[in-house]
Each structure stands twice: as structure tokens, then as C-alpha cells.
């Protein structure tokens, strides 16, 4: 005899007792709130700052079709962030963006994990709300799998002109760096591991929304294509959506660098355009 899953609602977060996390009836979402915050009327998920309900698999598949021109993933994936041939990266749309949050899905709309900005103090949130200086501050992200376990950490130290990202494993063991190589023209980032180049990410136009990711020999191993988030998002938020194509399995550390780069493009480029 099996018990039915809990009803949708707020429950104590297993990773941080200071938070409650929203259970949608089937799985844990990326939505959290302080544990001391009282429940909203009818105990439904609050969306006062969000303009989009939970992901729609049909919409995600449409994104993939538009970005890949119908070819989709040419191989079967392993169901993880590092083994799927297509990653769909959708930023959670907010009217007031205090911290970046992205959901990551496979080409069929199944959730693979997410990216959450962490370490945002009250002061940093105020700076983000009231000024454009947030782009110069340190940003820290956790890449989490479908079980909300951290698999990568990405830190962009404070910068002036060029961005640099430190990529580590969950235990903060260093993997490598993603280093911005130029300021003007088509932007480029190099992947550096143990002091040696292992590849890079190259913008294909001056607005830097479509990218070719290449290995150390210059062979393309992945491609990032931006997809339009819809009029409502475009009009009121800075949310972005991307499709990442990885045709062939990649060895580590290149696989980790590709995933880290693809999931932090928004912070490196769009957030800096102010």
C-alpha cells in the first residue's frame, strides 16, 4: 500500500531551515520564502512578482523546434544536466528582478534542474533595485539538479570592464575559469583549466545572443540560441530563454565548463548592458 503525495503547499526546506519551499503536488519547485512568513490566502503559491505559471512542456518543445529548426536532439540523453543533447534554459520572469533564477529542462519539457543566484544581501538587492551598479558587484550562482542538489558553483567576482567566472564543484573544488577576452566587437570567453585553454564561447553577432561553443582545437561542440520569451515577458521583464545544443557527449572538465558557460550567459552579457 502506497501513500498519496502531499497536497501542494509550503513545506520546510530540507537544505535550509530558514526557508519554506513550494511543493506543487508532484515535485519541489524553485520557489522559496522565509519560514516565518505567513501563508497567503488559500495557501496557494504566491505570484505577485511573477508573470508566468510553472513551465509548459508544449511551450518548451516549441522553443526547441524554433531554435534547432525542427532537428531537436539527434541522440538520446541520460536525463541529467551533463548528458542531455538539448538544454532549455528559461529565466523565471519577475516584474522586479532581485535575483536571477533559471529553470533547465530537456527537449521534451522534463525538468533537469535550475540555476539560482545566492548570497544576495539586503544591500545588494537595494542596489539592484535602485541603481545599475549591480553589474559591477560579485555574483554567485548554484547549478542544481532535479533533486535540488548543487552540482556546480559559479562565481563572477566584482568587475569593471571584463567578466571572469570561477567554476567549482559543489564542495568548491576548482574546475576552471571562464574569462572574457574582449570588450568590443563579437564577445569571446575562453575556458581555462589548470592554466591551459580548453575551449571557449563565441558570440555570432554584436548583440551576443547566439553563441558557438568550441573546444581547444576550434571545433564546435555546442551551440546556444536565444528564443523569444513572449510579449508579456519582453514588455515587463528582462527574462531570457535559451536553447543549448550539445550534439555529442563531452568529457570533463569541458562538459562542466560548457554547462557553466551556457547557464551564466545572461549575467555575463545582458545584465552588463546597463
Which CATH number is 196's domain given? 2.40.160.200
Return the pLDDT at 260: 92
Domain residues for the domain of 143 are 57-271
Residue 258 domain-assigned?
A: yes
Return the pLDDT at 192: 97
DSSP H or E run through 223 = strand 220-227
Strand partners, 103: 90, 114
pLDDT along the chain (274 residues), means of 10: 63 76 76 59 39 63 80 78 92 49 88 84 51 63 90 85 88 94 86 96 76 95 75 39 90 94 69 48
Domains in the chain, number: 1
Residue 25 domain-assigned?
A: no
Residue 22 domain-assigned?
A: no
pLDDT tens for 60-92 read 888 888 788 766 666 788 899 999 999 998 876
Residue 42 domain-assigned?
A: no
Return the pLDDT at 178: 94
Return the pLDDT at 36: 52
Q: Cα(88)–Cα(216) distance, rounded to whole angstroms?
A: 25
Strand partners, 242: 89, 226
Return the pLDDT at 24: 73
Residue 61 domain-assigned?
A: yes
Residue 14 domain-assigned?
A: no
- Do 145 and 126 form a contact (C-beta atoms < 8 A)? no
CA 61 to chain centre: 18
Q: Cα(220)–Cα(246) distance, rounded to whole angstroms?
A: 9
Half-sphere exposure of 18 (CA within 13 A, CB side): 0
C-alpha cell at 19: 526557508
pLDDT tens for 218-240 read 999 999 988 754 433 333 333 46
Residue 264 domain-assigned?
A: yes
Return the pLDDT at 157: 85
Residue 266 domain-assigned?
A: yes
Q: What is the reported pTM?
A: 0.69
Return the pLDDT at 23: 76
Q: Cα(153)–Cα(175) distance, rounded to whole angstroms?
A: 10
Amino acid at each position: 500500500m502506497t501513500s498519496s503525495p502531499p497536497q501542494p503547499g509550503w513545506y520546510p526546506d530540507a537544505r535550509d531551515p530558514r526557508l519554506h519551499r513550494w511543493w506543487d503536488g508532484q515535485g519541489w519547485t524553485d520557489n522559496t520564502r522565509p519560514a516565518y512568513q505567513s501563508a497567503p490566502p488559500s495557501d496557494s503559491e504566491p505570484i505577485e512578482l511573477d508573470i508566468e505559471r510553472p513551465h509548459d512542456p508544449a511551450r518548451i518543445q516549441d522553443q526547441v523546434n524554433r531554435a534547432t529548426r525542427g532537428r531537436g536532439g539527434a541522440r538520446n540523453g541520460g536525463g541529467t544536466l551533463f548528458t542531455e543533447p538539448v538544454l532549455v534554459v528559461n529565466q523565471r520572469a519577475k516584474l522586479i528582478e532581485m535575483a536571477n533564477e533559471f529553470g533547465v529542462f530537456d527537449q521534451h519539457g522534463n525538468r533537469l534542474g535550475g540555476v539560482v543566484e545566492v548570497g544576495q544581501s539586503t544591500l545588494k538587492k537595494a542596489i539592484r533595485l535602485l541603481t545599475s551598479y549591480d553589474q559591477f558587484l560579485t555574483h554567485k550562482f548554484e547549478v542544481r539538479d532535479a533533486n535540488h542538489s548543487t552540482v556546480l558553483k559559479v562565481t563572477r567576482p566584482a568587475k569593471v570592464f571584463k567578466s571572469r567566472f570561477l567554476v567549482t564543484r559543489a564542495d568548491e573544488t576548482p574546475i576552471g575559469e571562464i574569462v572574457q577576452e574582449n570588450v568590443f566587437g563579437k564577445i569571446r570567453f575562453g575556458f581555462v583549466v589548470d592554466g591551459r585553454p580548453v575551449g571557449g564561447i563565441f558570440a555570432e553577432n554584436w548583440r551576443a545572443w547566439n553563441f558557438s561553443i568550441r573546444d581547444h582545437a576550434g571545433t564546435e561542440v555546442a551551440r546556444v540560441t536565444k528564443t523569444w520569451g513572449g510579449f508579456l515577458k519582453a514588455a515587463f521583464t528582462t527574462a531570457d530563454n535559451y536553447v543549448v545544443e550539445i550534439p555529442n557527449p563531452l568529457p570533463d572538465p569541458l562538459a562542466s565548463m560548457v554547462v557553466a558557460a551556457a547557464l551564466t550567459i545572461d549575467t555575463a552579457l545582458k545584465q552588463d548592458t546597463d
